[in-house]
Every structure is written in structure tokens, then in C-alpha cells.
Chains A and B, each alone.
Chain A
């Protein structure tokens, strides 16, 4: 049950301006694979990266609640992973290789028992905090326990769902020193997790900041976020206005021999936030003074900025392109007529004009038309299918035929619910493109635009879900599981809180297959089955996948070693050099 609100917040920041600068993709066929960026295969300045200098980060969203218990991250986050090391982490490599889990504090990615309900980790030698004291597994256990405290809320819900006794544990401040029994620490180097059910993807969750060590003696509760104790290459020297301005400097006790993932080239990192996305992109474009050594970890290039970069090779060479696991789709609630009729849902699927929709989302450089729910990356188990082909611009004739069969020979009128947020995902632009395409098939679409919070409440309210609306989903880690389980698992239907199973599908066969795949620790095998499950569920036309976004971001002139993985879709701050 990923808290989608958080994902959307993180991604939305980027999406607000979906700015991707075109880079190679933007210049497209005309320029060939072009620009300076393509020369070395990477955007940014040429030459071998060296240590030293100050890296500036220009962001719109502040690093609020900079406490490992409270951060909701995918793979440990970008800025947070500079300060917090975790049991495992994401592989800091370009493209598909970057979707792998690799060891971080631990010597491996975890040793499961036979049915993947118990996971054992051993710490590497020579791990130290910023004060030189040794990191122990007891501190990792304590860090996880803290994340259960009500006053330190914000993290992902997986630990509460998965750990034995997690659902009723209230954190270390209220347990009278007993701790959580399902986390065992037989010695300072070993830690064992006992889960309620098989979870083959546990190593992915162990990348989240909740798995960072927190020394009990240094814990100041809700104030810990002001100066969290670093286990990574940088320590927090200043945190102003709850993460608005963060100054990070080298942690002298971090030993690069124990950390194969983080390169940590700059001596100092200055994270500034609260900036308008247009300002961030303008500053990166100009790249003057300290901005020449600047990046952003939350702001994409938007369509207008992309158009402006146009033929400028110098700028295009500084644009990084990435793919984050995300899908924008039309959701149906089959409890609402006429969407209870599969033929109507199929008709809508056939009528969609994905060219208009992609243009509404910012054009072909920023969005890829999608016919599958899973993103088109191997790690997610992508299996191609197009059950209700609409071609590039829709097939209104086929749609009309289906409507006739469904008993609507004269067409019908439906309401499409969307948000008024300017995110180019669930926004009026996309809704209007859908409206226009369906008009050709004789479906009159009335638009119901809701303010973003009201919109989210509405679509997550199982009792009041609209029949036909724009939705989106991003995974907490690159796998088919966190994509399909929250959306199609019948046991994840929540009536009191946030429900993401919009169609309220409760199919025993689907539920059973989700459980079966969760038992697999061979992720490649699991991926194939997630893909097959996606294809199977797709036959029911419960969603119309619209597009998978592409992220494009600018870096300053002097920024080197830009690495963009398919896990995050954006550059990895731990690899960046400014000298």
C-alpha cells in the first residue's frame, strides 16, 4: 500500500513543470542522436570527475522532516541517501542496471529462509557514525522501531504491514524498553527480520531510510531531524527552516572502502529549496557563478522549456533523460453505470487518441504512449500487450461498433472526473484531450474538475469513487509488485481510508497469484509473472493506460558524471562531481 499521496508529491514537484529538456530524445530524428550529451553518452561536462568543490542543489520542495524515520523515499532518496546509509541500497548505475538492489551497510542483499518470511543481514566491518563511534545492528533495530512512533510518522507502510506484531507496535517511546520482538539482534553485526507472510522483495524495502541506524543515546525524538547522526559520506552542518536550506559537509568518519555506491566527489553540498520551478530551470539554463555547479533533485523541464531549448546544442547537452516507474491512466469504477458494461470500457479504450494525450502531457519527449499498466522497463516485468488497439490516434469506428453492441447505438454521455492541478497528468489538458477523442466515437464527455485535494479524496474514497476518472500510480521500488498489488489486490480495498483499488477488483485468482509471486526471491522469475498478470488483468479493461512519463532535467555547466538509473529516473546526487 504505497502512500501514493507522497509519491505524487515527489513526482508532482517534477511534474508541475514536467520540464524535461529534450536532450537527445527531444532533438529526435532531426538531429540524430546528437548534442554534446551524446558524445560521452552522458549529459554534463566532459573529463574525469575529481574530488572537491561545492555542489549547489536548487529545489522547489524543501527537505522537510529530515529524519530517517519520517522520510518516504524510493531506494533511500537522493539527498537523504548522502546522510543515511541503509542495509541495502539501489545500484548507482546508468539505466536498467540501476534497478538492482545492492548491499550498503550489509554484506549482501539479505539471506531469506526457505519461504522468504525471515531475512538475515550481516554488517560490513569498519562502519562508523560521524562521531567515530561504531554502527551496530541494535541501532538499525532502534531506527526501525522509531518509525512506528506516532510523532515520527511519514514513512512507507510496509514495515507495519509485514513485520510480525508491526500492526500494533507503537514505537520505542511507549513500549517500556521492550522493543519489537520480530527484529532480532543476536550480535552487534547480525540482524534478523521475521515477517507475517513471504515477501521476496524485502531487500527493496531495506533500501528505505527507516533502515538507517539511529544511536539510541543521540535520539532527541521529534527534534532529531534538526541534526540526524550521519552514517553516510556527508553530515548535516546546518538545517534552516525545516529543510529549506540544508548545508552538508564531508563526514570524515565515512570510509569509502565500505561504500561502493556513493562517489561523494564534492566537499560541500548546499541544498536550497522553496524556488519556483521556472526559476530553477532558468538558473540552470544560465548556469552563472555558483549555478554552474548546480543540479536539481526535484524539478523537471516542462514542454515550453523544452521547446525553448530547441536546437541549442550546448543546452541540450546538459539535459539528462530518465524513466521513473510511473503510469498515468484512466480508471473505471465498474460499480457506476454505464461502466459496469465491459463493452463500454472497451469502447473507451479503442477511442482514445494517445497522440493528443501525449501532447497534452508535454509531447513525445516527456511522455511515452502506454497500452500496458506496467512501465516499459524490464525490472517491472514489462510484457507488451494491446488488447483494445486504438492505434496512434484512436479507432472511433471500432468504439462505435462496441457501443452499439452494448446498447448505446446513439452514443452516450458520461462524466470524466479530473483535477485542476497544473500537473499535466490528471489536469484539464489531459481531460480535454480525452474528451475530444471520445467525441469522435459518439461519447459526449462532461468534465468534472476538482481541486487537487478534493480530487484525491474523491478517487481514494471507496464508497464514492467516480465512475470514470484520471488517475496515476508510481511504484516505491522497480518491480511489478508495488504496481499491481495496491491497484488490483482485492484485500487492499480500504473502505475507511485511502483506497487505490479503484475498480474494487476482488478476483480470487488475481489475489492468489499476487501471493504466489510474493514468495519468489528470484526477482527475474517474479518479473515475468508480474508481466503475465498485468496482461491478464488488462483483458478486463478496468483501466485505460495513457502514458508513461519521461523525465528531463538540466544540470549546470560544470557538473560531471551524471548517472540516471531506471529506478529513480533522475540523476543520482551521490555520483555528481563539480571539479
Chain B
């Protein structure tokens, strides 16, 4: 969505504000089996990540414990046994070279990957909405300046700056927080542009004019009138951004600037697994597969939310095709 959109008319049939909209969206999302499946997968993942200490206690495995006896040292440290050393103790096999348990490492890795992705998206959304509102409601000059700053932020290469930044921040600074801030404070440009365009469109609508005429200030209008109307598109863009943030975490960890060892994250596991794809495919496929499934689930869910909020979908509902209008 570009700045050129700022003068476009308000989208006809945009989902009206209020709690009713949320329920309506959920109803529409619920009727898409793919979206439901995605939501179920994500719920399961979050549950597994939360239960990581419990599950690792259950299997009796510590994600950091070395098992030198489970790898073939003379062959580069490839796990002994088939499928990456799967056994009753090690449900998904062990890591080449160290013999660390892959099941528990994946669980703990999920905690980092999900925490960083969700945290970063929360930061992105907060910054993006604030900046977007300010750009739309501030003066003409302020709007231009903020627009320019947004463009600059979008153009900045996050990975390069991330590498530089991790070299200068104090070593004791918690890495997951650093990753959240890094990804969050870099990738808010899209959200800001979208919020600005939407706000400019909403600003001309009657209910905003009415609020202004009754003497409300800009801040109050932004909070009371505009924000509820912006909720739908903001939720959509946030849902779409989660997979992007996950991939960013994986990329940073892949480049060695993510969480510190021995803390596992999926990206870091992928990074150390990259050379093993022929010799021990299981080691690569597990984190890669999980990352793929999670990113796909977030994307499907995000898309479902977007479709449910799509004004065209809304108008179709109103016009009614019989089946849809009963909804």
C-alpha cells in the first residue's frame, strides 16, 4: 500500500467498528477448514512450547546434555542407529557431533522462535500504528517527514544492521529481547503506511466529522473513533507479519547473531544442520519442517483473517447469495 493511496475514497463496505465485527470475522474464519487446521496446529505448537520443561522431564532428557556415546566419532560424529539415532530415549534422534536430544531441543527451540516472532510483531504493530496515526493526523509537514522516515526504515537492510548491532550490544543483554527489538523496530514500515492510508480514508467519514464537531481533540478521536475501525486491517497485517518475523529470527540465528548457544532456536538448528542434509537428513528436516509448518499455519490463518475482513467479502454478504447471507 503506497502513499499514493492517501487520497483514495474510503473503502465501501469496510467492516464497521465494534465488538460485533470480531464475532462476524470469527464466524467467517471458522467456516474455512484450512484456517481451522492452521489455528489448531498453532495452538498445539504453543502448548508444546509452553510444556517444554514438563515434556523434557517426562522423556528424562536435558536439551543441553551431551551424549558422546550416541555418535560415531570416527565418521564426523554422525548419530549411531537409523533415522538420526531415534530410540526409546531420544524420540526424534540426536544431534550429530554432540548427541544432544533433538526432541527437547526442538521444543525449547519453539519457545524462542515463537516468543521472538510474536514479540517482534507486537512491537511492529505498536510502532506502526502510532507512526501511521501521527502521519495521518499530524500537520502536512509532519506527515511528509514521517512518510520519509518510514521510507528510510523500509529501505534499511535489517540483517546487515542486526549483525553490526549484535557486535556492539553488551554480551549480557538478553538475546531474545534483542531479537524482538531488532525485528520489531525495523519492520514496522508496512504497518505504518497501511494505517496512515486507512486513517486518511476514515478521517473523511461522517462519524469522525461528528466527533470532531462535538469538540473532541485529535488524540481522543484517534483513540475512540479511529482505532476501533483500524483494528481489522491491523490484525490482518499483524497475522501476515508473524511468519516474516519467524523467518527473520531464523535468518539472524542462521548467520550466528541470534540466540546464544547452547540455547536452541529453530533457525540456529537449521544453521548447524545445513551441511548434514545428505549424511543425516533427519537433522535438517526436523527444524526445517517445523519452521515450514508454523510459517504456513500463520500464513493460512492470516490470509483467512484478511479474507474475512475483506470489504468485498462483506458486500457479497450484504447483497446476499442466499447461502452466505444466512451467516
Contact = CB atoms under 8 A, between A and B. Distances in A.
Contacts of B87: none
Contact of A305 (B261, B272, B279): B279
A355 B75 contact: no
Interface in A521-566: none
Contact of A22 (B68, B75, B97): B75
Interface stretch (A247-255, A425-433, A570-578): A425-433
A362 B98 CA distance: 10
Interface string A292-312: 000000000011111110100
A428 B275 contact: no
B170 to A, nearest CB: 10
Q: Which secondary structure dominates chain B's binding surface?
A: loop
Contacts of B276: 304, 307
Nearest to B276: A304
Nearest to A420: B256
B74 A363 contact: yes
Interface string A4-35: 00000000000001000010011111000000
A364 interface: yes
Contact of A356 (B68, B78, B260, B280): B68
Interface string B60-85: 00001110100111111110000000
Nearest to B272: A429
A397 interface: no
A17 B275 contact: yes
B167 A451 contact: yes
A440 B71 CA distance: 20
A422 interface: yes
A529 B252 CA distance: 49
A152 interface: no
B163 interface: yes
A428 B256 contact: yes
A366 interface: yes
Contacts, number: 116
A447 interface: yes
A365 B167 contact: no
Contact of B77 (A25, A362, A435, A454): A362
B305 to A, nearest CB: 38
Contact of A433 (B74, B98, B275, B280): B98
A449 interface: yes
Given A359-B97, A363-B77, A304 B256 contact: no
B96 interface: yes
B26 to A, nearest CB: 44
A448 B169 CA distance: 12
Given A304-B96, A308-B279, A356-B68, A449 B260 contact: yes
Given A303-B97, A307-B96, A420 B74 contact: no
A432 B64 CA distance: 9
Interface string B86-107: 0000000000111100000000
Interface in A22-70: 22, 25-29
A143 B280 CA distance: 51
B326 interface: no
Contacts of B73: 355, 358-359, 363-365
Interface string A250-279: 000000000000000000000000000010
B261 A304 contact: no
Contact of A360 (B65, B74, B75, B97): B97
B256 A436 contact: no
Interface string B254-265: 001100111000
Contacts of A420: 256-257
A393 B257 CA distance: 30
Interface string B167-178: 100010000000
B323 interface: no
A450 interface: yes
Interface string A432-458: 110110000000001111110010000
B98 A356 contact: yes
A25 B73 CA distance: 11
A17 B257 CA distance: 20
Contact of B262 (A26, A359, A436, A451): A436
Given A307-B76, A310-B75, A450-B167, A363 B97 contact: yes
B43 to A, nearest CB: 33
B278 interface: yes
Contacts of B64: 436
Contacts of A428: 256, 260-261
A454 to B, nearest CB: 6
A167 to B, nearest CB: 35
Given A308-B279, A359-B97, A303 B77 contact: yes
A50 B263 CA distance: 55
Interface string A135-169: 00000000000000000000000000000000000
B256 A364 contact: no
Contacts of A429: 97-98, 261, 272
A110 B65 CA distance: 56
Contacts of A393: 68
A303 B279 CA distance: 9
A352 to B, nearest CB: 13
Interface string B204-248: 000000000000000000000000000000000000000000000
Interface in B24-63: none
B112 to A, nearest CB: 15
A182 to B, nearest CB: 44
A225 to B, nearest CB: 32
B68 A25 contact: no
B74 A449 contact: no
Nearest to A281: B275
Question: Sorted from nearest, which 9 A-B pairs have the closest CB atoms?
Answer: A303-B76, A307-B78, A306-B76, A307-B279, A28-B74, A420-B256, A304-B275, A364-B73, A307-B76
Interface of A: 17, 22, 25-29, 278, 302-308, 310, 353, 355-356, 358-360, 362-366, 393, 415, 420, 422, 428-429, 431-433, 435-436, 446-451, 454
19 contacts: A22-B75, A25-B74, A27-B74, A302-B275, A304-B275, A353-B66, A359-B73, A359-B77, A359-B98, A360-B98, A363-B72, A363-B73, A363-B75, A364-B74, A432-B261, A435-B262, A436-B64, A447-B261, A448-B171
Interface of B: 64-66, 68, 71-78, 96-99, 163, 167, 171, 256-257, 260-262, 272, 275-276, 278-280
